[in-house]
Amino acid sequence: MSRSNWKGTAGWGAIADPTRLMSGNVLVATAGTTATNEDYLLQIPSTGATFSISNYAVRINYAFPTYVDSTTASNMSVGLIARSGAFGTDAAVAGLTAQTGYIGRLNRATGKAEIYKRNQVTGTGGVDTLLHSAIIPTSSFDFGVLHTMEFKCVGDASNGVTLELSVDDTVAVSIGDTTASPHTSGFSGIQILSGTTYADNFTVLQYTASGAASIPSYSGWVPTDTYTTADLALWLKSDTGISTRTDGPDLRVSQWQDSSGNSNTLNQASSSAVQPTVIASGNSDGSTAINCVRFNYADNQFINASPSSSLNIHNTGDGITAFFLVRAFQTAVGQAQNAGDDTYVAPLLNYGRSYELFLKDDPTPGTFQQNMQFTNDSNSPSSNNSIYTVGQWEIVGYVNGASTTSDQRGFFKNGTQWSTTTGGYIPSNKDTGRVDSVATVVSGGSGYVASSGVATSGGTGTGLTVDTTTNIGGNITGATVNAAGQGYTNGDTITITGGSGSATITINVSLPLVDLRIGRRNAAQSHLAGYEYGAFDLIEVVLLDKAASIANRQKIEGYFAWKYGLTDALPASHPYKNSAPT
């Protein structure tokens, strides 16, 4: 929230977040007892262009620190402003405060969400008239909790203006302005009455006049321009391929189609709260309003794809690349890893124990502070801390391969290598490549004795043992699976130990006995009885079965940034800082 983009009416400043619920510096929005203070966004951040959007929603994160006596804020109100204007056009009143506009306000004194219309009255300035109000949960002002507030204003003079105020992603009050003179354009802003609020991630989400999300037009490089189905294992996009069902005020996700061409579609057939939800969200620069998929551990929400050869990356590739456009929407990014502690885990994606990526945080100062981890059950590298910020969209990813350079592999945040890792930390054969049966005895060898649990060698996996039958000459005549092992590939040629060591067989291998899951950890990895679930929003996922080159990794980052208005987050040295990849 650069101060240069604002009118500067309020004189507000920024300090290190005292609530410990957001990150870095946050806005101190304050007003004295019985006083009102406002400020207005006049320019689009990082562009210098005048704010000229007409149909939009204003969204912020806000919080109150636990050490403050809540009774001192008993009369406080927190508000968002839309379509404000008429600064100083009336000579009889001060020119700092907007004299026209709409205000969506959470009023702690009345316990209500309120929507006001401000009209200019000559000689008086702006006069606020209450259009509608509704009771809100007292939890909207809980101290020590990260909240969200959003005020949507769309429409025009011909069809009327629709106003909607939401708190913590739930609509609290809505009303239409069908008068002959609705406000049809103007600046967004923040209003505070009688107290102090700490705020961050001020976002303006653009809509059409009808209230539909305004999706940006993107025509640059996309993953399928470089990668075929042989390498691109999964590609999920929230702007296409999502099937939903209506559940009261919620849109619940029953299916999320894979755009990679591999048909690794994710499903959640259960018609209950375990289905993730579709919510409106937006970009860091406020240029668009888009949908994202929310996973909330409070309802054990997750979605999964059936096993497939293309997801079995251990067998199909020589590395892994996984990128996410993700937002942690609350401090507790997932369920506590162990009962009674505060180490939280958000399962972004896992395929049994073969590969798993998750966000992790230990809010009380410890080793893991808002970082990202990969594990293959044997190796578990972690990123440096602060790879994500609560309430903020991040482009985060992991790249590694059998043969990679130190600047190619590791964890990445918004186009910057956040930390490197040891090479070769890639998907394992855990939970994959179990042998179903022996296909054929290729060579019977000699000198064998019929036995059970005979060790084998060769192939892509480990742990296979067989039961054998032999003839009088010591040749193996048959073999059946004793222990299925893991990591094998269908058709592998396997040598049976013992005897002459020359008996060989071929094997049948089915798909692994695990699903690909988003939002829920594999039971074998969970520290809890059952599963662990997360609290995060997703817009896109790109998964490759190889380590992307530096150039292609930067294309993925540029694609995310330009499609969703996140170019401000890219470093100045990024090749796609100023233009989209092609």
pLDDT digit string (tens) for the chain, length 582 residues: 455 678 877 778 889 888 888 877 889 988 888 888 999 988 876 556 788 889 999 999 999 888 776 666 788 899 999 999 988 766 555 556 889 999 999 999 999 999 999 998 887 778 999 999 999 988 888 888 889 999 999 999 888 899 999 998 888 999 999 888 999 999 999 999 988 899 988 888 888 887 766 666 788 999 999 999 999 999 999 988 999 998 887 889 999 999 999 999 999 988 788 999 998 654 433 334 478 999 999 999 999 999 888 998 876 668 999 999 999 988 889 887 666 667 888 999 999 888 999 999 886 666 678 999 999 988 999 999 999 988 889 999 999 998 899 999 999 999 999 999 999 999 987 777 788 899 999 999 999 999 999 999 999 888 999 999 999 999 999 999 999 888 788 899 999 999 988 999 999 987 666 789 999 987 655 544 457 899 999 999 999 999 999 999 999 999 999 998 888 899 999 999 999 999
CB 492, CB 505: distance < 8 Å: no
> Residue 85: enclosing H or E segment and its boundaries?
strand 77-85
User: Which domains occur in the chain, in start order?
Assistant: 3-206 (2.60.120.560), 233-429+514-569 (2.60.120.200), 435-509 (no CATH)
Rounded to whole angstroms, how far apart are CA atoms 81 and 103?
A: 5
Cα–Cα distances (Å) from 530 to 495, 522, 526, in that order, read 39, 9, 7
The count of other CB atoms within 10 Å of the CB of residue 331 is 22
The count of other CB atoms within 10 Å of the CB of residue 232 is 23
CB 198, CB 28: distance < 8 Å: yes
CA proximity to 460, closest of 503, 504, 491: 491
Residue 498 region by backbone torsions, left for phi larger than 0, else alpha for psi between -120 and 50, else beta: left
Pull the structure tokens for residue 582: 């092609």
Cα–Cα distances (Å) from 522 to 87, 237, 274, 513, in that order, read 57, 23, 16, 12
Rounded to whole angstroms, how far apart are CA atoms 72 and 122?
A: 36
366-399 burial, b for 16+ CB within 10 Å, e for fewer? eebebbbbbbbbeeebbbbbebbbbbbbbbbbbb
pTM above 0.95, yes or no: no
What are residue 337's DSSP bridge partners?
Answer: none
DSSP 6: B
CB 153, CB 211: distance < 8 Å: no
DSSP string, 517-547: EESB--TTT-SSSS--BBEEEEEEEEEESSP
User: In this predicted structure, what is the pLDDT of residue 425?
Assistant: 94
User: In this predicted structure, what is the pLDDT of residue 141?
Assistant: 85
Residue type for position 443: S
User: In this predicted structure, what is the pLDDT of residue 49?
Assistant: 75
User: In this predicted structure, what is the pLDDT of residue 138?
Assistant: 86
Cα–Cα distances (Å) from 344 to 22, 36, 337, 363, 374, in that order, read 16, 39, 6, 8, 15
DSSP strand E in 142-276: where? 147-156, 160-167, 170-177, 187-206, 232-237, 242-247, 250-256, 266-267
User: In this predicted structure, what is the pLDDT of residue 304?
Assistant: 94
